[in-house]
Each structure stands twice: as C-alpha cells, then as structure tokens.
Amino acid sequence: VSPLADVLTETRDGVPVARLQGQVDMSNAAAVGDQLVGSVTSAGFGLVVDLSETTYLDSAGVNLLFDLAERLETRQQVLRLVVPEGAVVRRLLRIVGVESAAGVDATLDAAVAAVVEHSRDVPDAPA
C-alpha cells in the first residue's frame, strides 16, 4: 500500500477488522482495495472496516467501499463500517448514501456485534 494510507488488520470475537488509517484517493484506491479484500477471511461472516482514523476519502474511496460490500454480499458476508460522531469522512459517506451498501456504526464494538449477529441469521453460512 502506498504511504498515503495504512491498513491494519486484527480479529475481534472472530470477526476480521481492518483499520484504514490515512488518506484514500484515486492514486491509491486500488491498492487499498486489494488490502481490504485480503483481510476478508473466507470462513468469516463479514468484515469491519474502521474509518475512525481515515483523514481523507473521496469518491475513489467510496467506490471501493461499494465494490467491497457487493463482493462480500455475493458470499453472504456483510460489510460494517465504523464511523464515529465527528469522523472527518462522516458527512461524505452520508451524502453518497453508503448505508445502502453497508451498515454504519458509531463504535467498533457495535460493528463487531453486528457481524456476529449476522452470523446467527445465516444458518448455512460457512462455519
């Protein structure tokens, strides 16, 4: 990934979490997208992308979130975004209607809980 952005991955309650730090624009969106896709486990029920520390995002980054959500949906996985009150990217995400593709939570805990909740709704999903 280009030095503009870092993707840090961890697992919370069995849910993969990718923290997107820094800036995403058309110069690095593809590389960041690859990293996010790479953090999805085929066995899991979804992915949490934490945008708390995202300092810049425009439609190049928004498009990659929509693509990611679509990709997960085909595997019956969900995408949850962590966008706290006061996050720099909050207004932008509302403008583009990101909720139509991914659930938006104010905290990481809520996002992880939502993915765990989703796993219970998908009885025949990969274990």
Partner 1 sequence: MGDPSSAPEPPGKGGRHPVERPSGVEDLDSAELLAKLQSITDAALSHLTLEELLDELLVRVVDALEVDTAAILLLDDTRECLVARAAKGLEEEVERGVTIPLGVGFAGRIAAQMRPIFIPDIDKAEIANPILRERGLRSLLGVPLVVEGTCIGVLHVGSLTPRTFRRDEASLLQLAADRVAIGIAHARLYEREHRIAETFQHELMPAALPALPGVELAGRYRPAARAADVGGDWYDAITLPDGTLGIAVGDVLGHGVGAAVVMGELRSALRAYALEGRRPAELASLLNRVLRTREAAATATLVYLVYDPDARSLAFASAGHVPPLAVGADGDARFLEAASGPPLGVRRTVRYAEQTVELAPGSSIVLVTDGLVERPDEGLEKGLDRLVEAVLASGGDDADAICDAVVRRLLPRGAARDDAAIVVLRVAPSSDRIALRMDAEPEAVPAARRIVSRWLREAGASEAEIFDVTVACAEACANAIEHSYGPVRAEIELGCALDADGVTIRVSDFGSWRPPRGTHRGRGLQVMRAMMDAVDVRSSERGTTVVLRRRVGEAELVT
Which CB sits closer to partner 1, 17 or 32? 32
Round to whole Å and give the CA distance between 83 and 3. Answer: 22
Please report how close the Cβ of residue 65 comes to partner 1 at its closest, in angstroms: 11
Which two structure tokens, joined as six digits, stand for 69?
């959500």
For partner 1, the closer of residues 78 and 89 by Cβ is 89
The answer to whether 60 and 33 are in contact (CB under 8 A) is no
Q: How far apart are CA 91 and CA 4, in angstroms?
A: 21
Name the residue nearer to partner 1 (CB basis): 88 or 114.
88
- Contact residues toward partner 1 (CB under 8 A) are 2-4, 23, 25-28, 56-60, 62-63, 66-67, 88, 91-92, 95-96
Nearest residue (CB) to partner 1, 52 versus 66: 66
> Where are the extended beta strands (E) located within the chain?
5-12, 15-24, 46-50, 54-57, 78-82, 103-105
